[in-house]
Amino acid sequence: MEPVWEEGGTDALCLCPATGRPPKLDDAQGERVRTALEQGAQAHRFEADLWTLERVGPVVERVTGVGLSRASVWRLLIGRLGRILQRPERRAVERDESEIARWIAHEWPRTERGR
């Protein structure tokens, strides 16, 4: 038996690209995950409507029956689903912008005069 390159030349060597490990989720499962995420986090019994890797992982497992590592959840979200994670803002929900503006306008100058 002759080597592949002798039968087909250099073009024969390029016919089978390395594809890597096949994904754990097929296309139908990926779509079920997409649908579940579009329902929002609160629909899956989370307090805030915010998706994180720690929240998406259990939802993927519940919807598909396939457990994924944090890295695999990241690749699924970014690569296949084209989504980005939501991060909470680092400020209090009770923050009152008008009260902050009032304090800066009226109280702050008073504290500066005391120095």
CA–CA distance, 97 with 103 (Å, rounded to integer): 10
CB atoms within 10 A of CB 109: 9
Tokens standing for residue 1 = 């038996």
pTM for this entry = 0.59
- Whether 24 is in a domain gets the answer yes
Q: How many domains is the chain partitioned into structurally?
A: 1
Instruction: Fill in the amino acid letter for 20.
Output: G
Residues 29-53 have pLDDT tens digits of 999 999 999 999 999 999 888 888 8
- Whether 13 is in a domain gets the answer no
Q: What is the mean pLDDT of residues 72-87?
A: 83
- Whether 103 is in a domain gets the answer no
Tokens standing for residue 114 = 């005391």
With 70 as the cut, is the pLDDT of residue 5 above it?
no
Instruction: Fill in the amino acid letter for 97.
Output: E
Residues 84-110 have pLDDT tens digits of 766 666 777 788 899 999 999 988 888
- Whether 79 is in a domain gets the answer yes
Domain that holds residue 23: 18-89
